[in-house]
Every structure is written in C-alpha cells, then in structure tokens.
Amino acid sequence: MPHVLVTGPTRSGKSAFAEAIATRTTLPVTYVATARVHANDPEWQARIERHRRDRPTLWQTLEEPLELASVLEKAEGDCCYLIDSLGTWVANWIEVEDLEWNARTQKLLDRLSNTSATVVMVAEEVGWGVVPAYPLGRTFRDRLGLLTQDVGAIADRVYLVVAGYAIDLRQYGQLVQAHTVNASISET
C-alpha cells in the first residue's frame, strides 16, 4: 500500500476515512497520536479519550507529539503507521524559529520518502478562511499549508474529505505548484 495523505476541514470525516484506509491495508497498524494531553483541559482530555476508545483494539497506539521523523525512521515495511495529525504536530512546534522548523520538516519528509512502511497521514485544511490577525496564527496556517503540499507531493494517494465525502485529488486534480522546504514562508 502506498503512502496516503488525507486532508480536510474540521469535522469533515478525515480521521474516520484515514482509519478505514489503514484497516483496509490488513497490515498491523500503529496509530501515532500527535496530541499532547493537557491536565487543565478536561474537554481536550475527553476528546483524546474518545479517540482512544474508537480505535480498534488490535492497533498499537504511540503517543508522539514531537518526533515524527524518529517514528518513521523505526518504521518497517510490513506495517501501517497512521499519523493523526500533522496540524497538531505543527502546533506543537509553532514557537521554533523558521530555520529549526525547516530542518525538522525536511527530516520528516526525508524519513517519509525513505520508509518502506505504509504511512497514512491526516492533515487539517486551515487556509480556507480569513488571514489570521495575529502573527502566530499566520505562522501556523503557512507552515501547515506548506507541509501539506510537501507531504502531498510524496504521497501516492491524496484525498480531500469534505462533508463526509472523499475526493481522490491525484485522480481528479492537477499539481499546481511544487513547494520546497527551504523556501522561506515569506517567499511563498
């Protein structure tokens, strides 16, 4: 099974679709959760717990909010890694400078390109609305958008999930622009 990117807006069904793809591989699945548990946020804790309960019991769960490249470095061919989500991973690194961010992103992309494991990645689409009024919001939106472009260029299948429907972008879409990690955000 090839690498797959599943992207879409909030509550679109993208995680459920990605989980169905992982299940269909018939490979052992490792669910890589990028969310951090926040002890002072009971609503967030309840969301994480609901996600845990909804996953198949045979799946292994790996909670890794920061080192996705290391996870992929250890990934082996006869398994599937479902990473949910890239947006949360970007948020976890939001305060690092562009130089460090670009290095981390490049390392992740290199590992993704070189792993023989099947990797299904979930990413949020956040740039469909207004430009955020504050710098950190713009940084998040830009970093996630560019990362999603880079992952999409590597992935064999790219799906956009909207309102519970998935569209195969590789089948119906056309690559518009190839982004490179080393280009600064202000250039793109």
Q: Is 3 a catalytic residue?
A: no
Out of 3, 38, 51, 179, which one is annotated catalytic?
A: 51
HSE, side-chain direction, 13 A CA sphere, residue 48: 19
Q: For the chain, what is the radius of gyration of the CA atoms?
A: 16
Nearest residue to 68 (alpha-carbon basis) of 89, 48, 88, 94 = 89
DSSP label of 9: S
Q: Tell me the DSSP string of 81-129.
A: EEEE-HHHHHHHTTTS-HHHHHHHHHHHHHHHHH--SEEEEEEE--TTS
Please give the backbone phi and psi of residue 166, each rounded to the nearest 5 degrees, phi first: -105, 135
Catalytic residue set: 51
